[in-house]
Amino acid sequence: MTLTDRTRLIQSISDPEKVWDIIVVGGGATGLGTALDAASRGYQTLLLEQADFAKGTSSRSTKLVHGGVRYLAQGDIGLVREALYERGLLLKNAPHLVKNLSFIIPNYRWWEGMFYTIGLGIYDMLAGKLSFGPTKHISKKHILADLPGINPKGLHGGVVYHDGQFDDSRLAINLAQTCLEQGATVLNYFRVTGLIKNDREKVIGVNANDAETGTTYQLKSKVIVNATGVFVDELLQMDKPESKPLVRPSQGVHVAINKSFMPSDEALMIPKTSDGRVLFVVPWHDKLVVGTTDTPIDSHSLEPVALETEIDFILNTAAKYLTKVPARKDVLSVFAGLRPLAAPQHDSSKTKEISRSHKLIVSPSGMITMIGGKWTTYRKMGEDAVDKAIEIGGLKPEVCKTMDLPIHGSTQGTDWNDTFYFYGSERDAVLALANENPDWGKKLHSKYDYLQVEVIWATRHEMARTIEDVLARRIRLLFLDAKAAIEAALVVAELMAAELKKDAAWQEEQIASFTKSAQAYLLH
Ligand SMILES: Cc1cc2nc3c(=O)[nH]c(=O)nc-3n(C[C@H](O)[C@H](O)[C@H](O)COP(=O)(O)OP(=O)(O)OC[C@H]3O[C@@H](n4cnc5c(N)ncnc54)[C@H](O)[C@@H]3O)c2cc1C
Confidence at 357, pLDDT banded by 50, 70, 90: confident
Express each pLDDT in 359-398 by its tens digit.
899 999 999 999 989 999 999 999 999 999 999 999 999 9
| 48 ligand 1 Cβ < 6 A | yes
Q: Is the distance from the beta carbon of residue 57 to the nearest atom of ligand 1 less than 6 Å?
A: yes
More confident residue, 271 or 488: 488
Q: How far is residue 494's CA from residue 324's CA, in Å, rounded to a whole number?
A: 40
H/E element holding 202?
A: none
- Evaluate: CB of 33 within 6 angstroms of ligand 1: no
pTM summary value: 0.96
Q: Give the rounded percent of residues in the chain with a pLDDT score beyond 90.
A: 81
pLDDT, the chain, mean: 93
CB atoms within 10 A of CB 222: 20
What is the per-residue pLDDT for 1? 59
171 CA to centre of ligand 1 in angstroms: 13
Give the pairing type, strands 279-284 and 216-226: unpaired
User: In whole angstroms, how far apart are CA 46 and each of 8, 24, 172, 234, 242?
Assistant: 14, 6, 16, 20, 28
> Does the beta carbon of 31 lie inside 6 Å of ligand 1?
yes
60 vs 247, residue with greater confidence:
60
Rounded to 5°, the CA angle 22-88-34 comes to: 5
Among 123-137, 249-263, 296-310, 409-423, which stretch is predicted with the lowest mean pLDDT?
Answer: 296-310
Ligand 1 atom with minimal separation from the 293 CA? 1
* Residues paired with 219 in a beta bridge: 206
Residue with the bigger pLDDT between 249 and 481: it is 481
Give the sign of the dihedral formed by CA 351, CA 352, CA 357, CA 363.
Answer: negative
| Residue 350 vs residue 415, higher pLDDT | 415
pLDDT number for residue 301: 85
The yes-or-no verdict on residue 509 having pLDDT over 50 is: yes
Residue 398 one-letter amino acid:
E
Average pLDDT over residues 508-517: 98
CA atoms within 13 A on the CB side of 385: 35
Residue 353: pLDDT over 90: no
- In this predicted structure, which of 35-44, 186-195, 245-254, 311-320 has the lowest mean pLDDT? 245-254
* pLDDT value of residue 504: 98
* pLDDT value for 114: 83
**Separation of CA 28 and ligand 1 centre (Å):** 5
Sign of the CA dihedral running 55, 60, 66, 72? negative
According to DSSP, residue 322 is labeled B
DSSP character at residue 397: P
- How close is the Cα of 386 to the center of ligand 1, in Å? 18
Model confidence band, residue 296 (pLDDT cutoffs 50, 70, 90): confident
CB 514 within 8 A of CB 480: no
User: pLDDT value at position 74?
Assistant: 77
The answer to whether the CB of 173 falls within 8 A of the CB of 476 is: no
Sequence letter at residue 308: E
Q: Report, as an integer, the average pLDDT of 176-191.
A: 98
Segment 301-327, tens digit of pLDDT: 888 888 899 999 999 999 999 999 999
pLDDT of residue 346: 53
Distance of CA 133 to the CA centre of its chain: 24
How far is Cα 447 from Cα 32, in angstroms, rounded to an integer? 34
Phi, psi of 137 (to 5 degrees): -85, 135
pLDDT digits (tens, 9 = 90+) for 389-436: 999 999 999 999 999 999 999 999 999 999 999 999 999 999 999 999
| Residue whose CA lies nearest to ligand 1 atom number 32 | 228
The pLDDT, as a whole number, for residue 345 is: 59
> Looking at residues 184-190, what average pLDDT do you find?
98
Are residues 496 and 509 in contact, defined by beta-carbon separation less than 8 angstroms?
no
Average pLDDT over residues 50-70: 94
pLDDT of residue 293: 66
| pLDDT tens digits, one per residue of 94-121 | 999 999 999 999 999 888 888 888 888 8
Expressed in angstroms and rounded, the spacing between residue 44 Cα and the centre of ligand 1 is 24
Query: What integer pLDDT is reported at residue 348 of this predicted model?
Result: 42
169 C-beta closer than 6 A to ligand 1: no
- Res 354 pLDDT > 80: no
For residue 32, the ligand 1 atom closest to its alpha carbon is 25
Testing ligand 1's pocket by substitution, the residue of 230, 246, 297, 339 carrying the most ligand atoms inside 8 A of its CB is 339
What distance in angstroms lies between residue 80's CA and the mean position of ligand 1's atoms? 20
The residue whose C-alpha atom lies closest to atom 2 belonging to ligand 1 is 61
pLDDT digits (tens, 9 = 90+) for 271-293: 888 888 889 999 999 999 999 86
pLDDT of 350 reads: 41
Distance 50 CA to ligand 1 centre (A): 13
- Sign, CA dihedral 283-284-286-288, equals negative
pLDDT digits (tens, 9 = 90+) for 142-183: 999 999 999 999 999 999 999 999 999 999 999 999 999 999
Specify the ligand 1 atom closest to the Cα of 370.
Answer: 26
Q: Whose CA is nearest to atom 3 of ligand 1?
A: 61
